Amino acid sequence: MKTTGANSASGRPQPAVLTDFDDTAAVQNVAEMLLNRFGDPDWIDVRQRFRDGHINLKEYQEITFRNIQTDRATMQSYVKEHASLRPFFGELWGFCQANGIPMAVVSQGLDFYIKALLERDGYNRVPVYAVDTEFRGGEIIYHYNHTSPGKESQGNSKGFVVKSFQERGYHVFFAGDGHSDLEAARVADVTFAHRTLAKFCDDESIPYHPFEDFKGMLLAVRNFSNNGHGPNVDHQA
């Protein structure tokens, strides 16, 4: 049920900003960076099984990270040393903070590496909707707290997170790059897409803005916030 909780005094919806992490908020695919450095070399074969549709993303991630013997702190240090956030991430976060606009990372990845990079750059207050992990006795336990009802076996759902913001009355701006972002792009009010996601959006005639960094998103959110509408969509398929 829609609520007016996120509407401004004028009755206009308030924006909310959601972004994918690997290859979007982060310049790199941090999951693959960790697998390359610490994983079993056969993770590439597991990724191929995932790409060929034999296993889902949840299974791919659990299988490949299961073989890692390295502890959480070591992996977090590695991320802090080698990964980086995309330009204008901080400016967008600052604008959202100053204007009471929710902004969050929505990822199918693992919380510990996402939080490591956010913390390094001082963004530890950015909410993270990802796979929550627990390192226990040399094993990683996975918690999926953002699943679509009835589809729990698929793991977290970005579309579910987008819809949960819309149900609270928000006009959702979403940025992503990959296959797992498609379900979010289908329902988001405004999509910023690059790489594979842009191709999927073209195929499905989903309007989107090309994404390179967060500058365009910052301008669009600021414009919406000030005027109640976004810029014209650049790529109307």
Q: What is the DSSP string of 149-187?
A: TT-GGG-B-HHHHHHHHHHTT-EEEEEE-SGGGHHHHHH
Residue pair 224/192 in contact (Cβ under 8 Å)? The answer is no
How many residues belong to the site for Mg ion (CB under 5 A)? 6
**Which residues lie closer than 8 Å to 148 by C-beta, 6 or more apart?**
154, 157, 159, 160
Per CB under 5 A, which of residues 128..187 are in contact with Mg ion? Answer: 177-178
Strands, DSSP E only, in the chain? 15-19, 103-110, 128-136, 139-143, 171-176, 190-193, 209-210
Q: Which of 14, 23, 50, 198 binds Mg ion (CB under 5 A)?
A: 23
Cβ 107 to Mg ion, closest distance in Å?
Answer: 7
**Which of 20-28, 54-62, 85-93, 138-146 is the region at the interface with Mg ion (rule: CB under 5 A)?**
20-28
In terms of CB distance, is 13 or 155 closer to Mg ion? 155
Exposure string of 203-230, with b = 16+ CB inside 10 Å and e = fewer, is eeebebbebebbebbbbbbbebbeeeeb
In terms of CB distance, is 6 or 130 closer to Mg ion? 130
Site string for Mg ion, 43-82 (x = CB under 5 A): ----------------------------------------
Cβ 217 to Mg ion, closest distance in Å?
Answer: 15
Cβ 23 to Mg ion, closest distance in Å?
Answer: 4
Cβ 41 to Mg ion, closest distance in Å?
Answer: 23
Q: How far is CA 44 from CA 40, 60, 142, 204, in A?
A: 9, 10, 21, 29
In terms of CB distance, is 193 or 221 closer to Mg ion? 193
Cβ 29 to Mg ion, closest distance in Å?
Answer: 7
Would you count residue 20 as binding Mg ion (CB under 5 A)? yes
Residues engaged in binding Mg ion (CB under 5 A): 20, 22-24, 177-178
